[in-house]
Structure 1
């Protein structure tokens, strides 16, 4: 059974301990606290240490708990920090900012406080004198380009004018807080840092190994900045690559991969690296034959069998390959993908849920060749089929959870080199037509934009939009037109698909007038009174309508709705999705 040393300590006791030699290892992420977190810390400890702004007597036996610090002693006897990096780093910056203010103060309390801070920041010799060249904390964070700035601030107490790192910003913040405090409460000045050191409590948890420390960490959170799942995975990779003598290569590749994922993934939850691990997880699940609609949490999945999956070089190489594939998707890379593939991928970016990214990841990982490329025709058929299926399922079986059952089964088929058929989940044409006819395609439903994106690219002349283009839903027959002339027999037709199209945001704002004849110039583009050219829409259908119609009526709405639905049923039929 693993042994733990757990004993709550004051900041003074922990930092002044002769064994205190903290190392923030290279697999940790960069320092992330900003002014908000520092302000919270300052407010909390100030309220605790100077109760009622000095009007209430301080209880010397009181304690304020700051949280845990999880470490293990590594092979060179340093206390490697697994959890608590943000808190530990910030406390060091705070103490250093206080220390700088005691430079010329000679009263007994100030001298004693200064000496106590010295022994918290610097190692001491055998006579108890601080060695100003030996800090009690070091950082080797591979992806933190500012770590040297942190160490320089601790050594010198000076922030140079050009330094803009979080370390520098937070140090300046604490300097300003201390200046304000000194001006307002000069008689309490020595008391605040003394009470912080003597009465603010940390819970150091020293594990006997990195594995034990990581297991402990998994049940703890840093103060608002817990390590992400991918940070845990990084530690496992790091250990593996260190064992095979490739630590430096791994550190560089991980840093590059982090920067890449940050540029291409923007998940609602978790980090960009977590998103990459999630997409890869679905490939591994499929390889393991897992069809269950219950998906494990990311960390639970990868920690199986003592993180065996993360102790293989090919896993990390796969993650890099997968990330570069998605980079080319996001960048609409014309060297990797043909125009018809890029058009299908563009439409999928408007899918009603994110499931498509997982099944596409599985398809890519299984079918890529030695150069990471896919067969053009096979990939096109696959993208067309999943588009039709996911779009239809969003109306007939709403909710991403319902989609898991058919899609997870197809993922297993993909890794077994079988074609994607959705054979057990094909649709009845009459049922689809009826459900679509009775479905309200209001703007709040993601499937509305999905259908409009699909429809726009049924037009062979529709050019590709850059993915960063902000497209909004345009009511061709404007809603405020109906409010004024009531020229529709059924108000529900306002929200019909036949009355909607995707339009660039900048044009959608201008084209809000209720008359179609006034929209025409915005669709087509025009030159304003200042001789400035205003570009028209790149939606080919809207451009065409503006050239062929002088008005857009209720009949046009109904005819266009019927045309969209008929073409969509043909699309499902062509892709073998109808019974």
Structure 2
């Protein structure tokens, strides 16, 4: 069982402890508190120290204000690396330094004594408890924080240079103003406020025996905050590697570009955008290692193997940059042929995300020196994995089921062979029967997958932007069914009665008869003379021009979609003969 040191302490007891030597490590995020958070903290502390604006209503021996936990672990250098509490501890240090500076010219006994206490919180002390003005109690190595030096300078010198605009400078200036205003209005109370903050504001330091334990504690305690992402830990390993080679500045610049681009492209349901990039890269590195085991390690466990060996290789950051640029081009729909972009659009609606891992591995294994792929090979690969993933997901839903066939295929790809799913071929009658019995409800992702695939089986279907919001449209509308119900009620939710339609059109066209929908599908000019565009889904425009869409049309279209997909599987070599 992991050992923990937990001991509730006042700010003064925590920071004046001779063993208190805090480090904000390189993998932490930059300081993010603004004036709003500082104003809230100031108001809360003032209300706590002077209840109902009454100095005498405070019970110094009993009243406590809990500020929160500080989760740390002791690193190899003996410093307490901060996992949780960076923002509040940084802010408290700025506040204390502002008090210290204010008390510099105050000679009353209380102010002098409080200033001495603050000195022991900000600076390390010698054996006679004299502060060493060159040795701060806190240091920052945050790799992506260009302003961390300004924070340390403020603590050392108590002043903000002209033109300084960092969050540290703004917040320090805010506290200095609030303290000055209070000193001018209630000069006898300013030392009292500082003393009550030092002696009655409580922190809960939690010292874990390792980084992993500290991270787990943080995830448990701080479900409202932003826990350190796996990518933050990986950043620290890169940072150490590049720093050892004298390339720290280069790394910081490259990482910043990586982070900014990933934030624009990836929208993962869990984890950060950079975590998503590392996940896609992990599948490539797994394949390079020849790993077929379907039990997938967590990101952190995978990359930490061998003391983060993968992250100490220069090629890794190069690969990540190339992979991210590839996905940037996919997202921007640039640098690929029209036919490839159409396949990529269909895959963006795939039943699960396994296609992205296959494609990431294919790119890294097959790219040329310019980072490009052969168009014909890529087009064939995208068609093949689309057919397999769609059909396999119908038979065995869920991304976990795909690991069995996909992991060996990834190994084939990195070894220069084609992805081969010949060991998982489908039976024509069985797959057709599954389609016919499948409930294509709107809530199922596979419903959208098939409707997008069907739309782009039309060679004339124009390419839409990836950010187009598509929703499921009932061609035979639900409102219409309430007045003229279908003979078979299941046909209302049948695949043949559904299509994908842009949300902007769907809102207007939802409850109309088919004849009334035509102008919305085709586009029209409104009463103000403004051209209102129609849908880009060609099939819907064609259907609306027929004049009606009946129950027989639903049934016929359902069978046509199913037959077309199964025949396509045959073309791809995914059906048993």
Q: Assess same fold via TM > 0.5.
A: yes
Distance between the aligned counterparts of 2:177 and 2:440, measured in 1?
55
How do residues 2-401 of structure 1 correspond to structure 2 at under 5 angstroms?
10-16=10-16, 24=24, 26-32=26-32, 57-59=59-61, 66-70=69-73, 72=75, 84-96=85-97, 108-109=109-110, 112-117=113-118, 119-121=120-122, 137=138, 139-145=140-146, 147=148, 193-199=194-200, 200-201=202-203, 203=205, 214=211, 217-221=214-218, 223=222, 224-333=225-334, 335=335, 337-401=336-400
Asked whether the equivalents of residues 479 and 514 of structure 1 are also in contact (C-alpha less than 8 Å), the reply is no
- The 1:56/1:196 distance shift into structure 2, 3 A limit, reads closer
Asked whether the equivalents of residues 473 and 500 of structure 1 are also in contact (C-alpha less than 8 Å), the reply is yes
Secondary structure (helix, strand or coil) at the match of 2:246 reads coil
The answer to which of 360-369 and 340-349 deviates more is 360-369
- The 1:67/1:143 distance shift into structure 2, 3 A limit, reads closer
TM-score, length-normalised on structure 1? 0.83
| Shift, 1:251, TM fit | 1.7
1:242-272 alpha-carbon deviations (Å, 9 max, x no partner):
2222222222111111111111111111111
1:463-501 alpha-carbon deviations (Å, 9 max, x no partner):
111111111111111111111x22411121111111111
Aligned residue in 1 for 2:537: 539
- The 1:184/1:572 distance shift into structure 2, 3 A limit, reads farther
Aligned residue in 1 for 2:561: 564
Alpha-carbon RMSD across the aligned residues, in angstroms, is: 4.1
Distance between the aligned counterparts of 2:61 and 2:407, measured in 1?
61
- The 1:392/1:247 distance shift into structure 2, 3 A limit, reads same
Distance between the aligned counterparts of 1:471 and 1:307, measured in 2?
42
2:521 counterpart of 1:520: no
How do residues 398-409 of structure 1 correspond to structure 2 at under 5 angstroms?
398-409=397-408
Asked whether the equivalents of residues 124 and 135 of structure 2 are also in contact (C-alpha less than 8 Å), the reply is yes
Secondary structure (helix, strand or coil) at the match of 1:531 reads coil
| Shift, 1:96, TM fit | 5.0
| Shift, 1:24, TM fit | 3.8
- The 1:83/1:362 distance shift into structure 2, 3 A limit, reads same
- The 1:168/1:476 distance shift into structure 2, 3 A limit, reads farther
The answer to which of 495-504 and 142-151 deviates more is 142-151
Secondary structure (helix, strand or coil) at the match of 1:69 reads strand
Distance between the aligned counterparts of 2:35 and 2:436, measured in 1?
53
Secondary structure (helix, strand or coil) at the match of 2:309 reads helix
Asked whether the equivalents of residues 51 and 58 of structure 1 are also in contact (C-alpha less than 8 Å), the reply is no
For structure 2, which runs of at least 5 residues remain unmatched after alignment?
A: none
Asked whether the equivalents of residues 73 and 80 of structure 2 are also in contact (C-alpha less than 8 Å), the reply is no
| Shift, 1:225, TM fit | 3.7
The answer to which of 464-473 and 100-109 deviates more is 100-109
Asked whether the equivalents of residues 525 and 536 of structure 1 are also in contact (C-alpha less than 8 Å), the reply is yes
1:343-400 alpha-carbon deviations (Å, 9 max, x no partner):
1011111112111111111111111122222121221111111111111222211122
Q: Which of these residues, 555, 561, 577, is aligned with residue 574 of structure 2? A: 577
Asked whether the equivalents of residues 35 and 173 of structure 1 are also in contact (C-alpha less than 8 Å), the reply is yes
The answer to which of 569-578 and 180-189 deviates more is 180-189
Asked whether the equivalents of residues 214 and 232 of structure 1 are also in contact (C-alpha less than 8 Å), the reply is no
- The 1:104/1:544 distance shift into structure 2, 3 A limit, reads farther
1:138-185 alpha-carbon deviations (Å, 9 max, x no partner):
54534235546756876667899996x665786799799999999999
1:518-547 alpha-carbon deviations (Å, 9 max, x no partner):
11111111111111111111112122223x
TM-score, length-normalised on structure 2? 0.84
Distance between the aligned counterparts of 2:169 and 2:514, measured in 1?
57
Distance between the aligned counterparts of 1:554 and 1:329, measured in 2?
39
Q: Number of residue pairs matched?
A: 565
- The 1:136/1:431 distance shift into structure 2, 3 A limit, reads same
